[in-house]
Amino acid sequence: MRRRLVALLGLVLGLAAGLPTVVGAAPSAALTTVLVVSPQGPFTTLAAAVQAAREGDTVEVRGGVYRGSLTVAKTVRLEGVGWPVLDGGGQGTVVTLAAPDIVFRGFEVRGSGSEPHLDHAGITVTAPRVVVEGNRLRDVLFGIFVAQAESAVIRGNTVTSKDEYDLGRKGDGLRLWYSPRVLIEGNTVSATRDVVIWYSSDVTLRDNLVQDGRYGVHLMYCDRVTIERNRLVNNSVGIYTMYSSGTWVRENVIRGQRGPSGYALGFKDADNVEVTHNALVDNRVGVFLDGTPFTPQSYSRFEANVLAFNDVGVILQPAVHNNTFAGNAFWENVEQVGVQGGGQLERNQWQGNYWSDYTGFDANEDGRGDTPYHAERTFEHLTDREPRLRALLYSPTVQAIEFAAAAFPIVRPQPKLTDATPLVQPPDVAAFVQPTPGGERLGLVGAGLVALGLLAGGLAVWRRTSPGQEGHATMLNCLPRDTAAAVAVRGRGITKTYGETQALTDVSFEVRHGEAVALWGANGAGKTTLIKALLGLIETDGVIEVEGQPVGQAGKAVRACIGYVPQETAFYDLTVDGTLAFYGRLKKVGAARRGDLLARLGLSEHRRKPVAALSGGLKQRLALALALLANPPILLLDEPTASLDVAGRRDYLALLAELRREGKTLLFASHRLDEVETLADRVLILDEGEVMAEVTPAELRRQLTSPVTLSEWLTPALDFEVE
């Protein structure tokens, strides 16, 4: 009796822990059973074990090769241990999962039949909520075929087709047919025909690698499909979507689609398309649009994608309209945008894209070109009408045509498109083109994209920009790349030599956000040289980063983060108002902001005066106003009160102290103790180009006011009388 109680207790505990309770035994009435299949038994065939299993049981298959097809028509878990092989022997479908909630995991499946119209596959799923996970399929015509089975999960499988067939004769690696709400995640599909999703809505494809096939993903009659973070490499076509509504394509890398059409992305008669943050690299065509969007009330948006090194970045059919291309990088495509058959694309929106062939300028450094981008190369118009003329690319003929068009503008064609606000830096794509462990690497092109992303530094900038906000572009350019980072300015080993003079030697320091740091030293100590280095105005050895951005590589962006006030500012012969208006236009800062600054800095009553008529203190205030125009987070000041009288210095320091309390980061050169004590949290003492010490203002005062002993020796011989 006692032994029975102990056994019962063990049973209950085992169940509670979710552990298998019976191994290799016939199922009992109330338990989930694990039935073991191996060449040595207890079961030696899967069919026998499945037949013996009850709903909810687990069939664990330990190694071995099991020949023949298998149909599972009850809800069980099939777990492979040590890669057991299921070999169909070249006949029919190898495994058919025909009951709901089956889990099929850890098998090698091979040797299906070869009849395409009979759908001979490695695994066919015909029931809902089946999980097919972590299997290897090879030498099968179709890989995994989900046929009228909703809510399946196809995860982490590796699929290849039959080597002996051409691509068109192979089967599809993954095929969904009338199967909604399926998740396809983390699979690797190589050298199969297509990944086909037909008549299946609410499907998600995520983190898959599809390579060396025909159609990386082919959607037809599928609504609300999400395709994200996949890598499609060296297929004939990347993703081709037809007759579907609601296709969301984001953060995919699509490279080397060079089949007959060679589209990285193709959309035919599709509605409500959103394509964002994808890298489309080295394809024949980055994006192809035919009849998309299809219905008048729908939309199609392409935003923040990189289209790089393609033969043609985007091809549109002439009648295509109502597409929006915004914030994309068109990077060194042989032809950036083409119109199949020729024509203009003015019925589509082109806003704020980066064009690597843009030849305009950005005088105000707001990140947008000051002149529009026009796609108007004459030879492109010819190739749009007759694609075979692309054979002449890189030949003198093209140069002659372009030269003629430049010399005689009357023969220049109408622009295909105009982007009124082109970006001058490409968007940042580094976050999603980084190679993943175990994944396919992008190689040189990917590395180029990463570098491109690092150079850009501005995607976050653009994305967070809200139209109409004064000064927003420059200000947002200064957002730290890592908002959690505390450091605003970092220098490591900064060294600068002029001839034989060592101006800076291995200078290292950090300034945290909201901190005020003084550079203290006599004339010639290296303060001004260090400030020039921080502004990127001189080249140095070592590393300087401002808001996480390297000064050498991102000089423009860095300077946009800094408001600089020199010792003395050279002004144009303008009034105060005129001066602010001039610099305000360059920085796209409106009248309201300028008025606020004038009032705040006590310049309102002087606004109509010529700058030359201002006192030294007011000129320095005007210099501070210019530095603050775009509301930068960092102020860099070089001896800010050197030219001011006592009263002017006091007022000016009060202004700076107020800015510091508001959160500005201050870094200033000084040799005035009152200045340092009023503003600084820390002091870097420079001497002959080296940081000699880092102290607090109080410590600096102590060093400067250390006790001095004055001794006077009186000689009695002088016969003085001291009273």
Partner 1 sequence: MRQNKVMRAWRWRGWVVMVLAALALAGCSPRQAGEPQPPEIVYGRDVCDRCGMIMDEPRFAAAVVLADGQTLKYDDLGEMLLQHGTAARETVRAWFVHDYHSEQWVRGEKALYVISPKLRTPMGFGVAAFAERPDAEAFAATMSGTVLSLEEARGKVKGGHP
Beta strands in 411-450, from DSSP E residues, in sequence order: 417-419
Window 185-204: residues binding partner 1 (CB under 8 A): 198-199
Q: Which of 23, 39, 83, 169 binds partner 1 (CB under 8 A)?
A: 169
Q: How far is the CB of 392 from partner 1 (least distance, A)?
A: 21
Q: What are the CB-based long-range contacts (under 8 Å, 24+) for 439-447?
A: 439/209, 439/231, 440/209, 440/211, 440/231, 440/233, 442/253, 442/255, 442/281, 445/255, 445/281, 445/282, 445/308, 445/309, 446/253, 446/255, 446/279, 446/281
3-state SS assignment for residue 709:
coil
- Using CA atoms, how far apart are residues 493 and 513, in angstroms rounded to an integer? 21
Cα–Cα distance for residue pair 589/475, rounded to 1 Å = 11
- For position 236 contacting partner 1 by CB under 8 A, the verdict is yes
Q: Which stretch binds partner 1 (CB under 8 A): 161-169, 608-616, 650-658, 701-709?
A: 161-169
243 is an interface residue for partner 1 by CB under 8 A: yes
Q: Which stretch binds partner 1 (CB under 8 A): 111-119, 444-452, 473-481, 527-535?
A: 111-119
Contact flag: residue 259 with partner 1 (CB under 8 A): yes
How far apart are alpha carbons 91 and 410 in whole angstroms?
69
Is 203 or 473 the residue whose CB approaches partner 1 more closely?
203
Residues 659-688 that bind partner 1 (CB under 8 A): none
258 lies in the binding site for partner 1 (CB under 8 A)? no
Binding to partner 1 by residue 117, rule CB under 8 A? yes
Secondary structure percentages of the chain, helix, strand, coil, to 5: 25, 30, 45
Q: Does 390 bind partner 1 (CB under 8 A)?
A: no
One-letter amino acid identity for 224?
Answer: R
Cα–Cα distance measured from residue 100 to residue 444, given in angstroms and rounded to the nearest whole number: 46
As measured in angstroms, the least distance from the Cβ of 343 to partner 1 is 18
- Of the candidate residues 64, 266, 446, 550, the single one contacting partner 1 (CB under 8 A): 266
- Return the residue matching tokens 């002449």: 392
Whose CA is closest to 604, among 623, 621, 620?
621
Tell whether residue 614 is a contact of partner 1 (CB under 8 A). no
Contact assessment for residue 509 and residue 491, using Cβ atoms and an 8 Å cutoff: yes
Using the contact rule CB under 8 A, the part of the chain among 67-75, 167-175, 203-211, 667-675 near partner 1 is 167-175
268 binds partner 1 (CB under 8 A): yes
Contact segment (CB under 8 A) with partner 1 among 126-134, 164-172, 427-435, 641-649 equals: 164-172
Of 198 and 373, nearer to partner 1 (C-beta) is 198
Instruction: Please say which residue, 215 or 652, places its beta carbon nearer to partner 1.
Output: 215
Question: With CB under 8 A, what is the number of residues at the site for partner 1?
Answer: 25
For CA atoms 712, 715, 716, 721, the dihedral sign is negative
CA-based max dimension of the chain: 131
* Chain residues 283-312 in contact with partner 1, contact rule CB under 8 A: 288, 290
For residue 274, state whether it binds partner 1 (rule: CB under 8 A): no
Can you tell me which of 57, 79, 119, 547 binds partner 1, judged by CB under 8 A?
A: 119
Choose the binding region for partner 1 from 261-269, 450-458, 496-504, 509-517 (rule: CB under 8 A). Answer: 261-269
The C-alpha atoms of residue 266 and residue 520 are separated, in whole angstroms, by 62
Does 214 engage in binding with partner 1 (CB under 8 A)?
yes
**CA 143/CA 122 separation, integer angstroms:** 5
Query: Is 261 near partner 1 (CB under 8 A)?
Result: yes
The upper half-sphere exposure of residue 404, i.e. CA atoms within 13 Å in the direction of its Cβ, equals 10
Minimum CB distance to partner 1 smaller for 145 or for 583: 145
When binding is defined by CB under 8 A, the residue of 195, 210, 237, 275 that contacts partner 1 is: 237
When binding is defined by CB under 8 A, the residue of 240, 294, 325, 571 that contacts partner 1 is: 240
Locate 346 and state its tokens. 């003015």
Element (H, E) at 698: helix 697-704
* CA–CA gap between residue 59 and residue 32 (Å, rounded): 11
Q: Please, what is the minimum distance in Å from the beta carbon of residue 242 to partner 1?
A: 7
Q: Which residues bind partner 1 (CB under 8 A)?
A: 116-117, 119, 166-169, 198-199, 214-215, 220-221, 236-237, 240, 242-243, 259-261, 266, 268, 288, 290
